[in-house]
Amino acid sequence: MTRLVAGDFEWGRVLGEGSYGEVVLARLKDPSPFPDWPTEFAVKKLSKRFILKEQSIMHRTGRDVQKQCFTEKNLLSKLSSPFIVSLFTTFTTTEELFYAISYQDQGDLRELLNEKGALEVNAARFYLAELFSALFYLHDNLVIHRDIKPENILLGKSESGVHLKLCDFATAKDVTTLKDGERASTFVGSAEYVSPELLGYDEEVGKYAVYESDLWAAASVVYFTLAGLPPFRAESEYLMYRKIETNDYSFPEGFHEEGKTLVKELLQLKPCERLGAGRNHSDIKNHPFFKEINWTDLHKQEPPTIRQYSDSIEEIFHEDPMTAAFEEFSVESNQASKTGESGEQISEVDDPTGLGIPTILSKAEFEKRLVSQRIDRKNKSNRWATFVDDDELIIKLGYMYKKRGLFSRKRMFLLTGGKIEKLPRLIYVDANSWEKKGEINLHGKIKVHQKSFSRFYIIDPSKGRDGRIYDLTDNNSNSDVPDAGAAQWIRKIQLVKEIYFSKPKV
């Protein structure tokens, strides 16, 4: 392995931080001696002081941090797969250890799932096949990863498109270092993906990890990728571990059928009963979920487009007359109600049958309503005012269900507006935890697509990698009251879009 020093690199931004140190983007000052190397690296910097401190309390924590650091170095030095990050060089200073690893410029799978919720099945199938390919290679080379999770699955662009690489081998186990009959037994891994055997499900044998432990964790990643959340979820680690030990999970409505059978066959309590047990990789490769996968040279194939899951994905991306009709929406209301100076309908801010406060107000009216929302406890917007800026007015609010992957969560939505100088946004809040969960910044390219009387999509083509779809349902609307709920939200959002982004600002 080539030896370099810290001065040979130009140091860039921090890519991530951990308890041992940080990962920093770096570039060689003179790459000419290394024509086969990439131009950029993710350099893991490990604090020697922290490592020594952890070693001094190893008798309490059970963590041999020094061993973990050298395990990662030794394993990455001998492993070579297109589905695993590469280690190019290591070096030290008086204070730190440095590992220069291949840089993946598209983040990790967890970030992607946080953005998309769940992936459309063709993309999910391809990247899951790459994940299993990484595991097949590791297991054939007598290595158990022991910490398979979306955060350790990196994505990076190559000539053929975005591909996957597995990282973080600090807690991996080289099976060749075990004595005859010995098993890896140290408790490592992440709570949502830990296998029952490592929790001591088999009381006679005790806690241990085997190749099949990686398959259990991979099954949880399959579930997460197709549904938007991991299969085992609880309010505490203890309760989560109880669910894992009893295999207590369920599938949400709409879960891909072949994906469901794959997860079921992998999430078996006994390691020997899991699909692919005994390193029988063909059992997984031949599963119906992967029937469209050509396992040869996956890393050279062009991946499917990464899109978030929707039960009407083609309808969304291939616009139909309904969408076009909403794009041509007229701001006229068919309701006989009070109107403002611009002729826009006025209603209570939380009225599901109305448009709320006018989108644009006079300065005096704006200030009057703003003060009322901030200090008048009888004002229906008052309790939500802490979630908007001091100069933002809530012009419509209401509860809707926001679907993430296959799971729906009740959220309070706050639409801001009232003056042309302040761009509008749609903020959503978890009223139970009293926590802001996110926001949709409205702009001219936003589209609204009605799915049913109560359900609609807000499509932001500029959000994230390839756009984002917000799947919303307002239960105030149904076939009996077609002009309430979702219909009013659609009208209001289109009205905001027309006023703010279709006309010159005055």
244 backbone dihedrals φ, ψ, rounded to 5°: -65, -45
Task: Give me the percent of the chain exceeding a pLDDT of 90.
Answer: 72
Domain with CATH 3.30.200.20 in the chain: 1-103
Q: Write out the H or E segment, with its range, that includes residue 216.
A: helix 211-227
Tens digit of pLDDT for each residue in 204-241? 778 889 999 999 999 999 999 999 999 999 989 999 99
The C-alpha R_g of the chain, in whole angstroms, comes to 27
Residue 160 has pLDDT above 50, yes or no: yes
Residue identified by tokens 């099949």 is: 212
pTM of the model: 0.86
The lowest-confidence range among 90-104, 287-301, 349-363, 469-483 is 469-483
CATH class for domain 1-103?
Answer: alpha beta
pLDDT for position 321: 44
In whole angstroms, what is the distance from residue 478 CA to residue 481 CA?
5
Distance from chain centroid for Cα 32: 38
Q: Point out the annotated binding site for ATP.
A: 45
Q: What is the pLDDT of residues 458-468, one digit of tens each?
A: 999 988 888 89
Considering 8, 36, 108, 147, which one is annotated as catalytic?
A: 147
How much is the average pLDDT of 280-292?
98
Residue 452 near residue 319 (C-beta atoms within 8 A): no
Weakest-pLDDT range from 152-166, 333-347, 399-413: 333-347
Is 147 a known active-site residue? yes
- Per mean pLDDT, which range of 226-240, 291-305, 324-338, 428-442 is the poorest? 324-338
Q: Which CATH architecture has domain 106-309?
A: Orthogonal Bundle (1.10)
**Pure H helices in 117-202:** 121-140
Fold for the domain defined by 313-501: PH-domain like (2.30.29)
Which residues make up the CATH 1.10.510.10 domain(s) of the chain? 106-309
Task: Kindly list the distances between the CA atom of residue 58 and the CA atoms of 51, 97, 364, 428, 503, in Å, as whole numbers in the listed order.
Answer: 10, 20, 66, 44, 66
Residues 6+ apart with CB under 8 A from 293: 125, 126, 129, 285
Stretch (H or E) spanning 44: strand 40-47
Single-letter code of the amino acid located at 131: L
Q: Which residues pair with 425 in a beta bridge?
A: 441
Sequence ranges of the chain with CATH classification 2.30.29.30: 313-501
Residue 119: both structure tokens together? 């992936």
**Mean confidence (pLDDT) of the chain:** 89
Element (H, E) at 230: none
pLDDT surpasses 80 at 345: no
Sign of the CA dihedral 77, 50, 17, 97? negative
Q: What is the percentage of the chain residues whose pLDDT exceeds 70?
A: 89
Strand order in the sheet with 87-92: 9-17, 21-28, 40-47, 96-102, 87-92
